[in-house]
Structure 1
Amino acid sequence: MTQISRRLALGAAVATLAAPALRAQTNAIRIVVPFAPGGSTDAVARLVSPGLTQRLGVPVVVDNRGGAAGSIGTDVVAKARPDGQTWLLTFDSHATLAALLGPQLPFDPAKDLDPVMLIGGAPYVLACKPDKPFRSITDVVDAAKRTPDGVSFASTGNGTIGHLTMVLLQNRTGTRMTHLPYRSGGLAVNDTVAGHTDMMIGSAAVVNPHVRGGTLRIFAQFGAERLPALSALPTVAEAGFQGLEAEAWWGVFAPHGTPQDAVMRMNAALKDSLQDPQVRRTMEETQQARLIMSDPQGLQTFLTREVAKWSAVVRENHIAAD
């Protein structure tokens, strides 16, 4: 059994033992976040959970189950009873799980999970400590050409969209950089702020609070358009690096077979919670997110495109989970 397989099996076993006890004690609805606390997915889940509690009339708790590129927590939901008690709020790496883990994945993302809502997204950015020399993506490429493997970057793990975007950048520029994968955006941010890595690629959502606090500086943005808060900073396409658009996104899924009325009730509660003025302002200004709040079919259509795009990068570059 491989290390990833052991981690998946252990995570599923612990979740199986813990979940019934949690429901029996509190009758709570669980929002499983398949990453460690501190990242943008965790932040989004905790931002909407009070509103969901109010609108659904029962406690809504956030349950972090990190590890194996998000597959441990996702497996918890894929194997949960479809009774409307357990939901998944996950990140963009969901689109690469099947390509990344292959036969080691103990569930089928397309068959074992039902779409609920595409919450929205935020462009990926490159950020570094203010005292680092990088001012543009060209500066990074030039430094990597001068010293192969001498420039390091942090991401939220192997096979995440941020990592894959940097793989594409290296392929297209003939450079080599040192990748430092972390289990969450929060951990990647902490080590970047501490200077243990030259820079990090992450969603504007997870980086922006630290930019506002002066501990990080964004010097490249991968969105199709410039963020309003970064209107003076060119996108990477404008800087001459075409085809590197990348956006982080958050989606909600249910165990397959969850009754449609429960799915639509959760969709409506999420939409109402996200439209609360304070929550919306936090998402759009603090997290720099673009809210979509789709119906279930909207998430399914979007996910199909993302799977096709990023799974090809995983396969072509022989990327494995960390």
Structure 2
Amino acid sequence: MIRPTRRLVLGAAAAVLAAPAVRAQGSAIRIVVPFAPGGSTDAVARLVTPGLTQRLGVPVVVENRGGAAGSIGTDVVAKARPDGQTWLLTFDSHATLAALIPQLPFNPDRDLDPVMLIGGAPYVLASKPDKPFRNIQDVVDRAKAQPDGVSFGSTGNGTIGHLTMVLLQGKTNTRLTHLPYRSGGLAVNDTVAGHVDMMIGSAAVVNPHVQGGTLRTFAQFGPERLAGLSGMPTVSEAGFQGLEAEAWWGVFAPHGTPQDAVARMNAALKESLSDAQVRRTMEETQQARLVMSDPATLGTFVQREVAKWGAVVRENNIRAD
């Protein structure tokens, strides 16, 4: 057995004192993704963690805590110690939580501090190539001929994709069957398998399967045509006004997290996302429009999203799964 000598003990103590940042931050920083693995939020989180680990000097790990439209994982972060150890990387459904879940165990505005709006990607409708949909009018026509006979998947009740389809049904006086999933990845799997007629999801989560030929997109809900779908009109161009919808990813911290920690995370995220390979993956594979905002911009953006989509939730009496 090797016995510690006075020199070894003193050397170990010196090493601890020489690394205050690592000791202060603990063994790892966790990024909570409030959805199951496989969706675009999970993909974005795992894409940036290697760069964050390098730039922050400590391991950064992704923790998936899915369920209840993202509120379970978000609650974990809202109640976490504001010590820079725990962060939330979430999706657009964050803006609907307060309206969607009346007894929400936290206040999204009060209990979380904004860090960065990473960026967004337009929502698209996609189906197996052998499904009879070539444009959004095909969906409307079939739904009118077969009320409740056309199904669509989304990442859950009250998500922006689901709410967009609620608006579509209201504008066209149609009824579709909604199948909510816990993540975009699960919705994609069942759409590829043909268990659901189509799905609405971000271009980020759908694009790899479009590139692989297992899905075909036939409608895009962005304000302008996506570069990769330049030949496909937006829903507004197709005559369906008021249905613009973009997915987005944002990073938040427990309220009270020191501003210097927030600034460090914001800077590390920006540097990681600016890496040539990461940026290319975000823009080409994930079909994302990068923003990489400051904290205040995310705060203002979320307030607008809460007002817009919260109204849709309340007017249609929608509740979480």
TM range (shorter): over 0.9
The aligned runs of 1:8-23 (5 Å cut-off) are none
- Give CA deviations for 1:187-207 in whole Å, capped at 9, x if unaligned: 000000000000000000000
Q: Does the alignment pair 1:77 with 2:71?
A: no
- In 2, Cα distance between equivalents of 1:108 and 1:55: 31
Which stretches of structure 1, 4 residues or more, deviate above 6 A after TM superposition? none
Who is 2:31 aligned against? 31
Per-residue deviation, 1:266: 0.1
Cα distance per residue 1:116-155 (max 9 Å; x no partner): 0000000000000000110000000000000000000000
Matched, 1:98 2:104: no
The alignment partner of 2:287 has SS state of: coil
- Give me the whole-angstrom Cα distance separating, in 2, the residues matched to 1:27 and 1:254: 18
**Aligned ranges 1:107-146 → 2 under 5 Å:** 107-146=106-145
For residue 62 of structure 1, what is the aligned residue in structure 2? Answer: 62
Give the counterpart letter for 1:108 in structure 2.
N
SS at 1:143 equivalent: helix
How far is 1:84 from its partner? 0.1
Taking the TM superposition and a 5 Å limit, the aligned residue runs for 1:141-156 are 141-156=140-155
Give the letter for the 2:56 counterpart: L
Distance, in Å, in 2 between the alignment partners of 1:256 and 1:288 is 31
Q: How far apart, CA to CA, are the structure 2 residues paired with 1:245 and 1:193?
A: 25
1:85 CA drift (Å): 0.3
Structure 2 match to 1:50: 50
Partner of 1:266: 265
Query: Counterpart of 1:158 in 2: which secondary structure?
Result: coil
Amino acid of the structure 2 residue aligned with 1:276: D
Structure 1 CA distance, aligned partners of 2:96 and 2:241? Answer: 22
Give secondary structure in 2 for the equivalent of 1:87. strand
Q: Deviation digits for residues 205-247 of structure 1, max 9, x if unmatched?
A: 0000000000000000000000011000000000000010000
Question: In the alignment, what sits opposite 2:212?
Answer: 213
Shift of 1:27: 1.0
CA distance in 1 between partners of 2:227 and 2:42 (Å): 24
Alignment-mate amino acid for residue 64 of structure 2: N
- Per the alignment, residue 223 of structure 1 pairs with 222
> 1:49 offset after TM fit, Å?
0.2
Distance 2:59 2:265 in 1: 13
For residues 91 and 82 of structure 2, the distance between their equivalents in structure 1, rounded to whole angstroms, comes to: 21
Aligned to 1:177: 176
Name the counterpart of 1:11.
none
- Match of 1:285? 284
- Structure 1 unmatched runs, 5+: 1-22
Unpaired runs of 5+ in structure 2? 1-22
Larger radius of gyration: 2
Give RMSD over aligned pairs.
1.2
| Per-residue CA distance 1:233-281 (angstroms, 9 max, x = gap) | 0000000000100000000000000000000000000000000000000
Provide TM-score, normalisation by structure 2: 0.92
Cα offset, 1:319, TM superposition: 0.3
Counterpart CA distance in 1 for 2:42 and 2:188 is 14
Deviation at 1:186, TM superposition (A): 0.2
Q: Distance in 2 between matches of 1:68 and 1:224?
A: 29
Instruction: For 1:275-314, list aligned pairs within 5 A.
Output: 275-314=274-313
Amino acid at match of 2:81: R
Hey, what's the Cα distance between the residues in 1 that align with 2:237 and 2:137? 12
The separation in 1 between residues aligned to 2:86 and 2:320, in whole angstroms, is: 26
Residue 176 of structure 1 deviates from its aligned partner by 0.1
Which residue does 2:10 correspond to in 1? none
- In structure 2, C-alpha distance between the alignment counterparts of 1:72 and 1:301, rounded to whole Å: 24
Amino acid paired to 2:165: M
Q: Any idea what SS the aligned residue of 1:61 has? A: strand
- Residues of 1 paired with 2:280 and 2:162: CA distance? 29
The aligned residue for residue 165 of structure 2 is: 166
How far, CA to CA, are the matches of 1:40 and 1:54 in structure 2? 23
Identical amino acids, percent of aligned pairs: 86
Matched to 1:57, the amino acid is G
* Corresponding letter in the other structure for 1:92: D
Q: Could you tell me how far apart the structure 2 residues matched to 1:232 and 1:120 are?
A: 23
TM-score normalised by structure 1 residue count: 0.92
Question: Does residue 191 of the first structure (1) align with residue 190 of the second (2)?
Answer: yes
